[in-house]
A and B are shown apart, each in its own frame.
Chain A
Amino acid sequence: MIDLSTLVLTLIWGAAIGCIYVLLATGLNLIFGVMKLVNFAHGELLMIGAYVGYSVLTLLGVNAYIAVFLSMAIVALIGIVVERLAFRRVLGSDKLNEIFVSLGLILIFDNIAVLVWGEKSQRIISPFENMSLRLGEVSISYDWLIAVAFVIVILIALLFLIKKTKIGMAMRATSQKSQASMLMGINIEHIYIFTFALGAALAGAAGVLYGIIFPFNPYIGALPTIKAFAIIILGGLGSIPGAIIGGLLYGIAEQSAVIFLGGIWRNAVAFSVLIIVLLLRPKGLFGEKGE
């Protein structure tokens, strides 16, 4: 039953799905690192991103892969609004308040999406629909390959931004000691807005790539959030390389579970990984400090 081609396909599928989760997890990680805020509504931004991509595609008729950039910009704007109106006001108060606000945002985003786009499942049609690369017995869809390439490019750009630019340096400073960086003349309010917008933009990009590979509806947001969470914990909190490796491992684990255990296990895997890692190694595989 299990032959080589299934195994190879599982690995590739897993890596492609993992890549999308890596984008989401990196955004979540970034926001957590700088703002010490956990945005449980991050997956809703992915869902909104997918719908924005879909609308851009149907209304303007642009290429699906150009829609990725438009969606990033629009979701970043939405992120700024959310940060200003909601999270800003509970930042630094009781941690439970952040969870409550996130839940409220989940309800708000889900139902706005239902009202605007309806409950029906949609898909983003890419120009490479149904085209695939044949390697012997295994055929790989071009869309998966492009998704992986996109994620690599975006992550390299992100690393450049964080390591080499001035604002990236300010972000790193804020994440280490927000009060000290305030004394150094960094406007941390601006850094917070920028970080949240950046995280939201990553979720927007992930959304369009998700929409190209999977069908989506307004309720898909919750599970990717949790998967991104499992990935962050697997890779270690605040570690971007950790999130990348964690994401790939996670994607492969999920895909293997679907093939070898059955489809209903797809979501339970995320939590099993989460709980096992938290029990055995709370710092994650590459984490520096425990939370």
Chain B
Amino acid sequence: MFTKEILFRKIQSTKFYIFIAVIAISAVIPLVVGGAFLIHVLTLMALFTIYASSWNLLANSGQGSLGHAAFLGIGGFVSSLLAINLGIPPIIGIFIGSVLSAGIGFLIGLTCVRLKAWFLAMVTFGFSVIAETLVSQFDDVTHGILGFRTPLLVPSGLYFYYFAVLLAALSVIAIYFIMKSKIGLTFRAIHQNESESRMIGINTAKYKLYAFVISTFFAGLAGGLYAHFLRYISVSVFAAGNSFKPLMMSVIGGLGTIEGPIIGAIIIVAIDSLLPNIDKFLQPALSPLFPAVSFVGPPLRFLGLGVFLVIVVIFLPKGVSSLLHKIHNYFREETKKANNIERK
């Protein structure tokens, strides 16, 4: 019993140290390597960490949303429009946007919690299309069709980066504690077997609704930050690609883990932002092969992402983070063995 407790604490502390190390590295990195473009990419990674973590929390309760872009867009539009029309400072606006997004998430959730996985996926996807249509329809209020320039949240560049990392760290900590709490355990129970959870007295609809509200709150927060970071917002924020990104990040990183969405966000944003530089070199070599397209890079990249996603789902269902766990376990076993030999 005693040893078990020590081991438990040890694992806890390893995770804690890793978290501190990641924060420290992300604080130091821009000072070491610098460059406006790199800071841009790193900020995007922090933003998508929030967004992917919010999606992951929802998926953890067995609900795979295909329309999270709706909440990203709601968060962004609310905060930007409040700042422009009413002069509310964006730093308050992003939280008003998140709360509103969570409110709408509650209403959508009321429909969704009774649905099976694929209907839920369809309805959420549909909701993002409806949101796009409504924003285009009421263009006089939203100015969504052409888009508009959003006001400054914090000075762009390094300041924005640290602000985004701060919010990402806080969000990840909040989501970590939610997932470790009784609510998070209930989410996982519902995901694994809904009827059994209902049998032992869990009000599954209520808990799934909780997941929806919490998840859409963070998605709205990510949306607000995203809009103020890009300094521009239009209906294109509702595009299906923005709904699929958090899914790909979570699945590739590791579904249902706290570190999965972070790893996934880093991988996908890196692929999205850094590969176009390589595309330029590939272009002359590959374009004779595909005469139909003018730029070979983007479709090849997306094709690769699709193949990557399918392969991860089939062969590595727990994502890239499970590989890291395996490596970690391997080294722990090795040190244990070494210790045992020493003791003998």
Alpha-carbon distance A274/B111, docked complex (angstroms): 11
A95 & B117 in contact (Cβ 8 Å cutoff): yes
**Which A229-281 residues sit within 8 Å CB-CB of chain B?**
229, 233, 264-265, 267-268, 270-272, 274-275, 278-279
The distance from the CB of B287 to the nearest CB of chain A, in whole angstroms, is 11
A264 & B126 in contact (Cβ 8 Å cutoff): no
B59 & A278 in contact (Cβ 8 Å cutoff): no
Alpha-carbon distance A115/B292, docked complex (angstroms): 7
Interface: A131 (CB within 8 A)? no
B310 & A108 in contact (Cβ 8 Å cutoff): yes
Interface: A24 (CB within 8 A)? no
Give the number of residue pairs across the A-B interface with Cβ within 8 Å: 124
B299 & A278 in contact (Cβ 8 Å cutoff): no
Point out the residue from B111, B116, B117, B248 that lies within 8 Å of A275, measured CB to CB: B111
When distances are taken between beta carbons in the complex, the residues of chain B under 8 Å from A90 are 313-314
Interface residue stretch chosen among B22-30, B127-135, B198-206: B127-135
Given A96-B117, A115-B296, A118-B292, is A103 in contact with B244 using a C-beta cutoff of 8 Å?
yes
When distances are taken between beta carbons in the complex, the residues of chain B under 8 Å from A86 are 310, 314
Given A86-B310, A104-B309, A107-B302, is A99 in contact with B292 using a C-beta cutoff of 8 Å?
no
The listed residue with most A CB atoms (<10 A of its CB), out of B66, B303, B314, is: B314
The listed residue with most B CB atoms (<10 A of its CB), out of A104, A114, A222, A275, is: A104
B302 & A110 in contact (Cβ 8 Å cutoff): yes
Interface: A181 (CB within 8 A)? no
Given A95-B117, A115-B293, is A108 in contact with B129 using a C-beta cutoff of 8 Å?
no
A104 & B306 in contact (Cβ 8 Å cutoff): yes
Given A40-B121, A111-B303, A271-B129, is A291 in contact with B247 using a C-beta cutoff of 8 Å?
no
Point out the residue from B130, B134, B310 that lies within 8 Å of A104, measured CB to CB: B310
Interface: B307 (CB within 8 A)? yes
Interface: B11 (CB within 8 A)? no
When distances are taken between beta carbons in the complex, the residues of chain A under 8 Å from B290 are 115-116
B303 & A108 in contact (Cβ 8 Å cutoff): yes
**Which A180-216 residues sit within 8 Å CB-CB of chain B?**
none
A108 & B64 in contact (Cβ 8 Å cutoff): no
Alpha-carbon distance A90/B309, docked complex (angstroms): 13
B309 & A100 in contact (Cβ 8 Å cutoff): yes
Given A115-B293, A264-B137, is A105 in contact with B310 using a C-beta cutoff of 8 Å?
yes
Interface: B89 (CB within 8 A)? no
B119 & A105 in contact (Cβ 8 Å cutoff): no
Chain A residue, CB-CB nearest to B114:
A282
Alpha-carbon distance A265/B133, docked complex (angstroms): 7
A99 & B117 in contact (Cβ 8 Å cutoff): yes
A274 & B126 in contact (Cβ 8 Å cutoff): yes
Interface: A106 (CB within 8 A)? yes
When distances are taken between beta carbons in the complex, the residues of chain B under 8 Å from A118 are 292-293
When distances are taken between beta carbons in the complex, the residues of chain A under 8 Å from B104 are none
When distances are taken between beta carbons in the complex, the residues of chain B under 8 Å from A114 are 292-293, 299
**Which B265-324 residues sit within 8 Å CB-CB of chain A?**
290, 292-293, 296, 299-300, 302-303, 305-310, 313-314, 317
The listed residue with most B CB atoms (<10 A of its CB), out of A100, A101, A222, A264, is: A100
Given A86-B310, A97-B317, is A107 in contact with B126 using a C-beta cutoff of 8 Å?
no
When distances are taken between beta carbons in the complex, the residues of chain A under 8 Å from B247 are 100, 103
Interface: B240 (CB within 8 A)? yes
Given A100-B309, A115-B303, is A38 in contact with B118 using a C-beta cutoff of 8 Å?
yes
The distance from the CB of B67 to the nearest CB of chain A, in whole angstroms, is 9
Interface: A46 (CB within 8 A)? no
A233 & B119 in contact (Cβ 8 Å cutoff): yes
When distances are taken between beta carbons in the complex, the residues of chain A under 8 Å from B292 are 114-118
Alpha-carbon distance A233/B115, docked complex (angstroms): 12
Alpha-carbon distance A272/B129, docked complex (angstroms): 10
Interface: B122 (CB within 8 A)? yes
Interface: A119 (CB within 8 A)? yes
When distances are taken between beta carbons in the complex, the residues of chain A under 8 Å from B125 are 226, 271
Point out the residue from B116, B121, B134 that lies within 8 Å of A291, measured CB to CB: B116
Alpha-carbon distance A114/B290, docked complex (angstroms): 9
Alpha-carbon distance A97/B309, docked complex (angstroms): 10
Interface: A84 (CB within 8 A)? no
Interface: A112 (CB within 8 A)? yes
Alpha-carbon distance A101/B118, docked complex (angstroms): 13
Point out the residue from A112, A119, A267 that lies within 8 Å of B303, measured CB to CB: A112
Interface: A163 (CB within 8 A)? no
Interface: B123 (CB within 8 A)? yes
The distance from the CB of A237 to the nearest CB of chain B, in whole angstroms, is 10
Chain A residue, CB-CB nearest to B240:
A222
Interface: B136 (CB within 8 A)? yes
When distances are taken between beta carbons in the complex, the residues of chain B under 8 Å from A229 are 122
**Which B130-162 residues sit within 8 Å CB-CB of chain A?**
130, 133-134, 136-137
When distances are taken between beta carbons in the complex, the residues of chain B under 8 Å from A111 are 299-300, 302-303, 306
A101 & B313 in contact (Cβ 8 Å cutoff): yes
Alpha-carbon distance A267/B154, docked complex (angstroms): 38
The distance from the CB of A225 to the nearest CB of chain B, in whole angstroms, is 9
9 contacts between A and B (CB under 8 A): A99-B118, A100-B251, A101-B314, A104-B306, A107-B309, A108-B303, A268-B130, A272-B130, A274-B126
| Residues of A in contact with B (beta carbons under 8 Å apart) | 38, 40, 86, 89-90, 93, 95-101, 103-108, 110-112, 114-119, 222, 226, 229, 233, 264-265, 267-268, 270-272, 274-275, 278-279, 282, 291
16 further contact pairs, Cβ within 8 A, besides A86-B314, A101-B309, A115-B303: A103-B247, A103-B309, A104-B310, A105-B310, A107-B305, A108-B303, A108-B307, A110-B302, A114-B293, A118-B293, A119-B293, A226-B125, A264-B136, A265-B133, A275-B126, A278-B119
